[in-house]
Structure 1
């Protein structure tokens, strides 16, 4: 069955890459990486048999303990390849990827080689992998960089690239906008997974989700997200909690993650703008409100941009935004009141009076409206 699986991978990959080659589509294909050092072979009687994966892994640990990195590295890979629970790609799979890439004139991307180069003694473990195969943040960044380097070496297949606009790589890693809240979600997800078979024998499996007790609101949200609560919903809820408890900077970090994930949605930009306003950073907030408004106007983004324009004495633009805010939220007297003030600054008495009357009709006790109407000669 194992050899049949290797042949199946080879045949499928050959057909896929041939189709791309025939269509003139360049292909970049990377090798498969896994945790070799910090994950024992999966729980199976066959792995525990004499000369099986468990015994080889124990030999690798012994070599590691005596600082024989060459022997340890070889034995860790051998233990993984012998693991009968094939949740990690064996070496033969990467051999197929390399050979088929060469045959079909695809570009091989040395992901596993890059991971080994970035790992202590050249042996990949939890430094870059969360559990068995999924990279952590550093691992994801390393995959991206390795593919970028392959594209660069291939001269981007003849496409024009403005390399002078490249930022330092650390800026791109920071731009992933991974927060402590995200890491909590990951921690709960990994703990849930690794408490079950095949990470432990079935008899030793535990119900992490059934027994864990969250330590607070943020931890509760992270725990719920790991159990199925949509990530975006959890991020918004965490951000709202941070704002409510006086940590708008932490809220902003959550909203930036949403901006990265759904750059064509207006709400993340507006939420980030609100957090920045709470942080007394209007110069940073206004561009985000403009982006939000451009994607989908809301009463709040229109109102905020209107107030900003009025403060800059761009009254025509202020009226445009404030009228939009009134239209989007016709029962709210606040934008109508600001609109009346703006018309007055423009010396448009009729417009100021009409907007003031709207405020009065919505709420005759709105703070300042009666004095303002008297100032406009409306006799209230």
Structure 2
């Protein structure tokens, strides 16, 4: 028995030691994680680093969200070149009946080089506001320059809890050189698993601490070892030559396909309509950046024929040039420059179909992949057929239709991928029509704004157009457009040009420049241009009633009554006020719309802070409504028409009185009452 007890005791001791060792091992394994967790908690406690969530509460606007300025740091390895987006507001508690639209993409999507009201989503916003004036719109552009489908996928995942009614997407040109692109300087680029792991780790403050420490160490290197005056565009490029069909080329296609598939699947499962545009880039008017020379051993005839073709072009002999380049292409058909020359030569001969074929091939063969290959448009078409809630916006077809010979060039594109103002308007039209077709909004025929009306009315200022032109001129003087030393030859001959130049090169802000213009226009009595500035501010600050009210005032001065009503109604919807209600009442009477005037008169009576005697005015208005009912049945009743004119005259509504006096005199030219009233009005 004793031996048995001793044996039992020994077994228990061994088991106890094993349990202790297990606990020690577990603690040893967990200890580093506990330390890391403690450091992470401490860093968060002392607000070190950044929260990389997509939205934050707007600092100056309680009750509203905006894009987190630090959200891009999750995607850029180098914080110094990380870009920031817009600060467009939307309510934390979504109002019923609101149409909330988020926009995702890259530099084209945010409107480079114009930004602000030059971007396609502002053209769309302006048109939707006028087509559905009683609808509350929230169009929030979350795009960033220098990003690609990884950012689109990540942002899409985070915006779902914020009740989007639709998501608009334009992306694809940065798939190789945008942050985390397969040919970019990001070390983890090209490996989807590693990229997504890194994106998760960058949320941690301890990871941010380590990254900042490494950045400080690297900054101790002698100046000029990094960057060296390079543009952001150049600093993000690692592989300048990515041959068509190469493994890296295919990784870019796969990366885009997977990321956009994930994005559209997420949104489809959430039943959120997605409107995704195919990609547009210049085909002619831009020689390929890099033409990868073929192996002279494998293609011995190419080099000689190609050089002879260039010599023939230099001599102006297009017939010989065509023969030489066809011979070169017959030897090797994978040279971007050769295909571009053939496109030029066939276009000169008037064969736009052949020219377009060669131009498109030249773009796809360009070794420096700043333009998306045409295969990405095929990917988007296939994905839109895969998901019920994904709708393709065929911008490429629209741009081709609006281009000479159906070949996209500098009539719509500024350099390689960014549209000019006409191009951005056209891009917005594509989204507008596709959204309308899918029933996202209603466009009544009597209030729908046509594309021609949009082009005429959109409040684009001289600052917008000129600053964009200056930015593009500067861009074209740098790599990869021009590698030589080119001096700034921009001529500044007016105050407007000087302001635009300062905006382009960040010597002043867009808002400050517009304020200066606005002050000058007011001093000179140029109310039309002042009204354009105010309408531009409305687009920039669509949640602030004061801008709508001022825009309404200017349109009133210009006798644009319908537009004045539009802006005052928007101001009233955002912030109901006595003066705005009284103004709307007067404007509706000016249009002889007593029925629409009455609610605003009632509001003014109920909120009569000026203590005006408005009851007699209401009595006149009610009489007018009754008389108009009679006039509708008896349009030739002169007495009724005279009474309406008299009531309008008593109310001080000269326009309304003149309208009915004219009706009376048309039916009865010698009517004494109408003539007397007309005489009195001329004295006013």
TM-score by length of 2: 0.40
Task: State the SS of the aligned residue for 2:460.
Answer: coil
Matches within 5 A, 1:279-290: none
User: Are 2:282 and 1:35 aligned?
Assistant: yes
**Residue matched to 1:161:** 442
Within the candidate set 245, 254, 271, 1:7 is matched to: 254
Task: State the SS of the aligned residue for 1:33.
Answer: coil
**Residue matched to 1:110:** 394
**Residue matched to 2:346:** 63
- Contact 1:235/1:255 (8 A) holds in 2: no
- Over 3 Å counting, the alpha-carbon distance change for 1:267 and 1:240 in structure 2 is farther
Aligned-pair distance for 1:268? 3.3
Aligned-pair distance for 1:277? 7.6
**Residue matched to 2:5:** none
User: Are 2:464 and 1:185 aligned?
Assistant: no
Aligned length: 307
Which consecutive unaligned segments of at least 5 residues does structure 2 have? Answer: 1-247, 296-302, 304-333, 587-600, 612-684
Which consecutive unaligned segments of at least 5 residues does structure 1 have? Answer: 309-313, 323-380
Alpha-carbon RMSD across the aligned residues, in angstroms, is: 3.7
**Residue matched to 2:493:** 215
Between the aligned partners of 2:561 and 2:260, the Cα distance in structure 1 is: 53
Between the aligned partners of 1:244 and 1:175, the Cα distance in structure 2 is: 24
Task: State the SS of the aligned residue for 1:163.
Answer: coil
Matches within 5 A, 1:113-124: 113-124=397-408
TM-score by length of 1: 0.68
Matches within 5 A, 1:339-378: none
Aligned-pair distance for 1:31? 0.5
Between the aligned partners of 1:280 and 1:23, the Cα distance in structure 2 is: 47
- Over 3 Å counting, the alpha-carbon distance change for 1:34 and 1:290 in structure 2 is closer
Between the aligned partners of 2:545 and 2:272, the Cα distance in structure 1 is: 34
Deviations 1:120-178 (A, max 9, x none): 1110112222222122222222222222333344x42xx67353342333223334222
Between the aligned partners of 1:134 and 1:171, the Cα distance in structure 2 is: 23
Larger Rg: 2
Matches within 5 A, 1:85-234: 85-105=368-388, 106-153=390-437, 155-156=438-439, 161-164=442-445, 165-200=447-482, 202-204=483-485, 206-208=486-488, 212-228=490-506, 229-234=508-513
- Contact 1:14/1:104 (8 A) holds in 2: no
Runs of 4+ residues deviating >4 angstroms = 47-51, 273-298, 314-319
- Contact 1:236/1:255 (8 A) holds in 2: no
Task: State the SS of the aligned residue for 2:427.
Answer: helix
Between the aligned partners of 2:336 and 2:562, the Cα distance in structure 1 is: 60
Deviations 1:177-200 (A, max 9, x none): 223342212211211111211112
Between the aligned partners of 1:97 and 1:110, the Cα distance in structure 2 is: 10
**Residue matched to 2:609:** 320
- Contact 1:48/1:54 (8 A) holds in 2: no
**Residue matched to 1:79:** 362
**Residue matched to 1:337:** none
Between the aligned partners of 1:188 and 1:236, the Cα distance in structure 2 is: 20
Structure (1/2) with the larger helix percentage: 1
Aligned-pair distance for 1:295? 5.7
Deviations 1:338-371 (A, max 9, x none): xxxxxxxxxxxxxxxxxxxxxxxxxxxxxxxxxx
Between the aligned partners of 1:257 and 1:126, the Cα distance in structure 2 is: 26
- Over 3 Å counting, the alpha-carbon distance change for 1:65 and 1:46 in structure 2 is same
